[in-house]
Amino acid sequence: MKKILFVAEAVSLAHVARPSILARSLDREKYEVVFASNEQFKICTENSDWQTYPVESISPELFMQRLAKGQPVYTEHELAAYVAADIRMLEAVRPDAVVGDFRLSLAIAARLLKVPLFIICNAYWSAFAADQRMHAPDLPAAKIIGFPIFDRVFRLVWPFASRLHCIPINRVRKKYGFKPYRSIREYYGDGDVVMYSDTPGLVPATANLPPTHHYIGPIVWSPSMALPAWWAEAMAIERPRAYITLGSTGSVDLLPEIVAACLEEGLLCLVATAGRGQYTSDSPWVFTAPFLPGDLAAAAASLVICNGGSPTTHQALQQGVPVLGICSNLDQVMNMSGIKRSGAGIGMRAGEFSRSGARKVISILQGGSYFKFKTSALALDFNLLNSAQQFTQLLARYTA
């Protein structure tokens, strides 16, 4: 049996959910699975049958603070500690291959120990993505000078900012004798086998995509859980529905205004707080829970409103439902730019949000056949690629 080590960098729910789905997909008669992460986002790993290995990650709160300030998300000291911990982990587990999701230190540790490294990432971060344009995230400076001007400034400074974000990891790489990264795209896409959790229809690549880079399709996760007690009541109400969740990294302070905008547009609201605080409403058209099975909630909705990140947007697009993404960080903005380009949704930065602006977007997304047509086409595209099946085939090919 081949032993496969999955390493989840638990700074957001997505980076735990995606490897957990791929780990569950493996045939236990052929593969021994070890899953390394910390205690964050245990909802993704409940009722699993694998061995575990404890590995530390910075906290999601610290991760989001640094993203909000436009800082490198890891310091040199943290990355050096990560590499040392990863080396100990690989020596202890001795896997035939390692699968990482945003565990960026593995590109050093796995190469040192000559363990094949598979990485999960989104194609819009690829150095081979056809569209390399950058759109500014929700940074403090944008609120001062305005987003249209800040977008132009951001594109001008991005090549320098990209190299700045590589400085901490390049210092660690130098200590181990590795060449420096030239850009954040090279940094985030460094693996022996790169697996894009996207489709070429949503995020096209250039013609010179390396043979070790593969689209495996969206890795769509929903919690395995019982439906809330109010589900049947909500489904019985003849009213268009919005599925609203800001996930683990969205601007939850906007939730009351988002719900108010939906109610004013005549929508019933299915709200999942992702366990981030309490939210209640006196409206009979608002139903809330800490978590919801996102696939079912998206399928029951005519609109999905989220933080613009790939986990929830992919749930929506798989069901052929348009998306309003209210983005905070750069990853979310990049994801929504591709969705907007494909005609399947509209994105705005959290700093641009207003109730009146949200109402206009909701009306546009609900008002005609254009978005329904585009999202239906993407749903077909999504269902052509089965990520678990694609992953299993790649694993068999590269570990034979």
| Concatenated DSSP letters of 97-109 | EEEEES-TTHHHH
CA neighbor of 379 nearest in space, from 333, 332, 314:
314
Q: How far apart are CA 30 and CA 9, in angstroms?
A: 26
Which residues lie closer than 8 Å to 381 by C-beta, 6 or more apart?
199, 201, 202
CATH topology for 231-383 is Rossmann fold (3.40.50)
CA distance 55 to 48: 17
Say if CB 327 and CB 116 are below 8 A apart: no
pLDDT of residue 319: 94
279 to each of 131, 303, 360, how far by Cα in Å?
38, 20, 24
pLDDT of residue 143: 80
Nearest residue to 32 via CA among 14, 46, 53, 18: 53
Same fold, 2-217+385-398 and 231-383: yes
Provide the phi-psi class of 52: left if phi over 0, else alpha when psi is between -120 and 50, else beta. Answer: beta
Other C-beta atoms lying within 10 Å of the C-beta of residue 381:
18
User: What is the tens place of the pLDDT at every residue in 260-284?
Assistant: 999 999 999 999 988 777 788 899 9
Query: Which pLDDT score, from 0 to 100, does residue 7 have?
Result: 98
> Where exactly are the structural domains of the chain?
2-217+385-398, 231-383
Protein fold of 2-217+385-398: Rossmann fold (3.40.50)
Task: Say what the pLDDT of residue 87 is.
Answer: 98
The pLDDT score that the predictor gives to residue 80 is: 98
pTM higher than 0.85, yes or no?
A: yes
Query: Distance (Å, rounded) from C-alpha 349 to C-alpha 114?
Result: 42
Counting as low any pLDDT under 50, the low residues of the chain are: none
List, in sequence order, every residue forming a beta bridge with 352; answer none if it has no partner.
none
